[in-house]
Every structure is written in C-alpha cells, then in structure tokens.
C-alpha cells in the first residue's frame, strides 16, 4: 500500500476516513464530487500551470507511478536544473513535487509547493508546512538535499489590469525554518499512519462526539445506530461538547430520547420543540416587528457571482467574486409585482459597468432591498462601489438599508422540523412554499450557475448552447428572488 502526501494530510484530519478509502473504496463510489470541489481541483491545476511560467526551461515529468520515479532519476542524472512533478518514493511514502530547482551556489535543491490559496495555511487538513515536511523527508531519504522549502501562493492584493502579470499574481514564502522544525513530528506521524493503515480492523469514528457539520459522507456507515435526524443536528451542538458527550455516552441519539431538554439553549429548544410536537414553532410578533420595518417598494434582489484562481477580468483579483447577473422582483404596497433582470452574456470593456448602470435604473433607494444571506450581496455592492466610484453613494445607500430575509429563519422566529436545522433558502422554500421548487430547473445552486456562466462566455461554446445557458441562468436567478417574494407573502399571513 502506498501513502501519498494527500493520504498523509487526510490522515492528520481523519485517519478513519483514510482507512475506509483504502479498504472500502466502494463506500465512496456514489459520492460524486460537488461542482465546487471539481472547480477547486481545476483551479489548482490552472494555478500550477500558470506558476510554471515563472520557471522557463523547467522539465515536466510526464509519467505516472513507478515510471515517474525512473523518469525523475534520469532527468536529474542528465543535469536538468528545474523539475516539475519530480516523483520520489521512500518506503511506502510517495510524492510528486510541484517544483524542484537546483541552487548552484548552495549546492542543493529548492522545493516549491504551489497552492491556489491566498495565504499559507497551517491547519489540518491543509497544513502547508506539514505538506512540505512530508515531501522533504521523502526526497532527502532518496539522497537529494533540500536546502529551501517554500510555498508559492496567490497574492491576495493583486488586481488584474490588462494581461495577467504572473510575477505579481504569485508570492513565495520561504518556510524552511518552520518545515525543519516540523520534520520530526511529521516523520513520527508518517510511521503511525503506516501502522494505522496496516490495522485489519475497522477503527472507530470519532465524529460521534461532533456536530453534524463535521461529519463526512461515511458517518452513517460507521454509526448505523444514529438516526438520520439526531442530536447531532441541533443548532451549534458541536460547540456544547459537554451535552453531546453526555448523550452519546448514554446512547442517546434521537431527539425523542433526550433526558434533559431544559439544558438546551433557546435556539436548540425551538428546534427540539418543533421536532417533538411535529409542528412548526413560530414567533409571529418577532416576524411582524421585523417586516414592519421595511419600506415599499420592496425589492427582492439576488446576485450570481463567479470567481477563479487566475483572475479573468480587470479590477478583480484571485478568487474575488465577479457579479455577473442579478434578478429583482419589485413588490409595491398595492400588491403589484414587476420583474427585472440583468445578465452579462458577452464580457467587454468595463465588465460590470453596464450591470451597475442597470441596477441604478431598476432599484429605487427609497424602498428596502431584500436579500437572502445579505452579507454576500453587501460584499458585492462594496466591490462594485470600489470599481465604479460614481455609483458608490447609490450602492452604499441600498446596501446599508438592505434587509436579510434569512434572519427570520436563522434567528428561529420560524422553525419547521422539515428545515433539518438549516436556514438555507433551498431547504426553507419547499417547506414554506411547496408549490415552488428548484428541482425542475437545469441549474439548482449557485456554484453550478457560476460554472455555467464560465461556459456561456467561452468562445468555444456554440450559439445554440449559449442560448440554452442564458435561459437556464435567467430562470435560476429569477426563482431565487421569486422564492423570497412568496416566502415573504407567507410570513405576512402569520
């Protein structure tokens, strides 16, 4: 069995999950990577390819597996001074180094790990120092001296203007001292990982003592005694460790079995009561108070955004969200409703200027702009104000007065057991307004919309497909704001 660098990093995060991956791969067969996960991998590959441009003349090891080790050896022996994907194996440990560069003056090799992140990370499972230490141990065991270990990552302060300047887009941080200090601990962990993975018995799952957000896809396999909706779903229960440990040690997993509900905090209690009585828990006074503070016309508003590791548009940096679309439903005091929308279909010139101009024409600052999870919309307003100072007063005004409809649910003024403890519009809508659903749309979530937009603006995409994507994007964003209108109407009846 091989232990790759990725295996080792996963081991430091969850050893049990790694054991399952090695011995029961069938458990992961149905776990499709999300669009978001696929995009992260693609962004990582793009960043790595872009970063290699900073090392002209480097030699790329093309082979995989044992053949890559032989190819690396041959390349070093014939005197290649910069290697991409140099591959080494020591004992069961296997690595591919992003960049190895020979330092003629110091007579040793510099190791560079490329990360499509905006900073050096030092927390499992993305611990960049341990990542480098693992590589250094394996490479040096092979007789190749590493004299410097660094991470090259994206520069969070870089903003594209014209052609991407790769020298400015990436920054390199020398972590040699930290890596050397971490080496002993990482070396010991590598040995325990090897022993652990040799264990024939399936080890226990520690997440039984963690809240739902920490569970991975194999939790149900490892804990068949825990029902689908359990004490782990209680709001922020992972922060109330004492309660959770007490229940688990007493084999209390279902909400019905909780023996001390008086210890739950107000939010957890509302969730518990809703579940126990199989009915919704509503606080009409709090809802009325929140909605009475809004001014007509109510403008239900939603952006869709796109981001990428290598910025595509002037004025934007790595992973900065580019608002490419909005939908707006305007509800007047007399109940009349109007829909407006905007979608960038052909990026040109000052990319977001037409979008802001249209917003100015569509939105009345005297009325309240209503959104769902408004911090996302507010951040986009701030960015647009920075890019288009002439519109800053307008954008700041609507942003300051924005109302977040999600707070009705996240503050537990309306709790339905069917929300599953979530305040996401995707969970709330089918329960509060069963007639509306995202299921029939070709786009179901924001990350998919972002991926579709990238396809829409590609010159490789046919006109026919562009027409289809445009329709799908408009329908998806429109449902986001129409859903808010309908949820608002239900709340008003309360």
The helix/strand/coil state of 58 is coil
Q: Which of 27, 216, 337, 441 binds ligand SF4 (CB under 6 A)?
A: 216
* Cβ closest to ligand SF4, residue 11 vs residue 482: 11
Q: Are 166 and 50 in contact (CB under 8 A)?
A: yes
**Region from 150-158, 204-212, 373-381, 451-459 binding ligand SF4, contact rule CB under 6 A:** 204-212
Q: How far is the CB of 223 from ligand SF4 (least distance, A)?
A: 8
| Residue (of 152, 108, 149) closest to 130 by Cα position | 149
**Region from 10-18, 62-70, 188-196, 335-343 binding ligand SF4, contact rule CB under 6 A:** 10-18
What is the β-pairing status of strands 170-174 and 146-154?
A: antiparallel
Task: Name the E strands within 332-470.
Answer: 337-343, 369-371, 403-404, 414-415
| Residue (of 45, 153, 146) closest to 100 by Cα position | 146
State which residue has the least CB distance to ligand SF4: 207
Say if residue 492 is exposed, middle or buried (CB neighbours under 10 Å; 0-12, 13-18, 19+): exposed
**Region from 80-88, 185-193, 203-211, 245-253 binding ligand SF4, contact rule CB under 6 A:** 203-211
218 binds ligand SF4 (CB under 6 A): yes
Q: How far is the CB of 316 from ligand SF4 (least distance, A)?
A: 35
* Cβ closest to ligand SF4, residue 12 vs residue 358: 12
**Region from 9-17, 391-399, 414-422, 441-449 binding ligand SF4, contact rule CB under 6 A:** 9-17
Q: How far is the CB of 230 from ligand SF4 (least distance, A)?
A: 13
**Region from 11-19, 266-274, 301-309, 484-492 binding ligand SF4, contact rule CB under 6 A:** 11-19
* Cβ closest to ligand SF4, residue 216 vs residue 343: 216
Q: Which of 97, 144, 207, 483 binds ligand SF4 (CB under 6 A)?
A: 207
Q: CB under 8 Å to 3, separation ≥6 — which residues?
A: 11, 92, 93, 94, 190, 193, 194, 197
Q: By CB under 6 A, what part of segment 14-43 binds ligand SF4?
A: 14, 16-17
Q: Which of 82, 152, 222, 268 binds ligand SF4 (CB under 6 A)?
A: 222
What dihedral angle (degrees, nearest 10) is formed by the CA atoms of 251, 252, 257, 262?
130
Alpha helices in 255-401 (DSSP H): 266-276, 284-292, 353-362, 374-387, 392-400
Q: Look-up: residue for tokens 């429109």?
A: 478
Q: Are 18 and 194 in contact (CB under 8 A)?
A: no
Q: Report how far apart, in Å, the C-alpha atoms of 469 and of each of 182, 197, 322, 466 are.
A: 49, 46, 18, 5
Q: CB under 8 Å to 345, separation ≥6 — which residues?
A: 456, 457, 466, 470
Number of chain positions touching ligand SF4 (CB under 6 A):
11
Q: How far apart are the first and last CA of the chain?
A: 61
Q: Are 317 and 306 in contact (CB under 8 A)?
A: no
Q: Which of 219, 253, 300, 324 binds ligand SF4 (CB under 6 A)?
A: 219
| Residue (of 282, 339, 287, 331) closest to 485 by Cα position | 331
* Cβ closest to ligand SF4, residue 5 vs residue 215: 215
Q: How far is the CB of 210 from ligand SF4 (least distance, A)?
A: 7
* Cβ closest to ligand SF4, residue 189 vs residue 320: 189
431 binds ligand SF4 (CB under 6 A): no
206 binds ligand SF4 (CB under 6 A): yes
Q: Look-up: residue for tokens 């001292």?
A: 177
Q: How far is the CB of 92 from ligand SF4 (least distance, A)?
A: 22
Q: Which of 76, 146, 205, 322 binds ligand SF4 (CB under 6 A)?
A: 205
Q: Which of 215, 243, 388, 478 binds ligand SF4 (CB under 6 A)?
A: 215
Site residues, ligand SF4 (CB under 6 A): 14, 16-17, 205-207, 215-216, 218-219, 222
């Amino acid at each position: 069995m091989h232990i790759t660098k990725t295996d080792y990093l996963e081991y430091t995060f969850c050893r049990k999950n790694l054991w399952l991956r090695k011995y029961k791969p069938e458990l992961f067969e149905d776990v499709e990577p999300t669009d978001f996960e696929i995009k992260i991998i693609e962004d990582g590959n793009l960043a790595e390819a872009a970063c290699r441009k900073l090392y002209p003349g480097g030699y790329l090891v093309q082979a995989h597996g044992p053949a890559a080790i032989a190819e690396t050896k041959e390349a070093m022996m014939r005197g290649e001074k910069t290697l991409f994907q140099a591959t080494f194996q020591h004992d069961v440990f296997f690595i591919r180094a992003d960049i190895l560069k020979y330092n003629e003056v110091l007579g040793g090799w510099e190791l560079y790990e490329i990360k499509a992140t905006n900073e050096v990370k030092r927390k499992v499972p993305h611990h960049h120092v341990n990542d480098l230490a693992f590589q250094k141990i394996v490479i040096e065991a092979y007789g190749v001296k590493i004299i410097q270990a660094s991470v090259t990552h994206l520069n969070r302060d870089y903003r594209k203007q014209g052609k991407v300047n790769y020298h400015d887009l990436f920054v390199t941080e020398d972590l040699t001292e930290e890596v050397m200090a971490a080496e002993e601990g990482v070396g010991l962990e590598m040995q325990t990982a090897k022993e652990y993975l040799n264990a024939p018995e399936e080890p226990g799952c520690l997440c039984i003592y963690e809240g739902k957000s920490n569970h991975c896809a194999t939790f149900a396999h490892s804990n068949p005694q825990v029902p689908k909706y359990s004490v782990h779903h209680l709001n922020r229960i992972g922060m109330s460790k004492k309660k959770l440990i007490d229940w688990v040690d007493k084999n209390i997993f279902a909400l019905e079995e909780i023996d001390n509900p008086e210890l739950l905090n107000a939010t957890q209690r509302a969730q518990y009561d809703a579940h126990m009585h199989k009915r919704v828990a509503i606080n009409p006074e709090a809802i009325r108070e929140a909605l009475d503070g809004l001014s007509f016309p109510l403008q239900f508003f939603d952006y869709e955004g796109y981001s990428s590791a290598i910025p595509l548009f002037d004025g934007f940096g790595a992973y900065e969200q580019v608002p490419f679309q909005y939908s707006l439903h305007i509800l007047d005091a007399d109940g009349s409703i109007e829909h407006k929308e905007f979608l960038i279909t052909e990026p040109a010139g000052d990319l977001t200027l037409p979008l802001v101009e249209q917003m100015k024409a569509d939105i009345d600052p005297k009325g309240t702009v209503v959104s769902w999870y408004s911090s996302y919309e507010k951040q986009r307003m701030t960015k647009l104000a920075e890019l288009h100072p002439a519109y800053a007063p307008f954008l700041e005004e609507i942003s300051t007065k924005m109302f977040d409809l999600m707070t009705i649910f996240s503050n537990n003024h309306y709790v339905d057991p069917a929300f599953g403890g979530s305040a996401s519009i995707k969970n709330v809508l089918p329960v509060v307004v069963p007639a509306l659903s995202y299921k029939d749309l070709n786009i179901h979530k924001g990350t998919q919309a972002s991926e579709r937009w990238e396809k829409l603006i590609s010159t490789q995409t046919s006109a026919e497909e562009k027409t289809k994507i445009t329709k799908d994007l408009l329908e998806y964003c429109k449902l986001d704001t129409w859903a808010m209108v309908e949820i608002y109407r239900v709340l008003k009846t309360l």
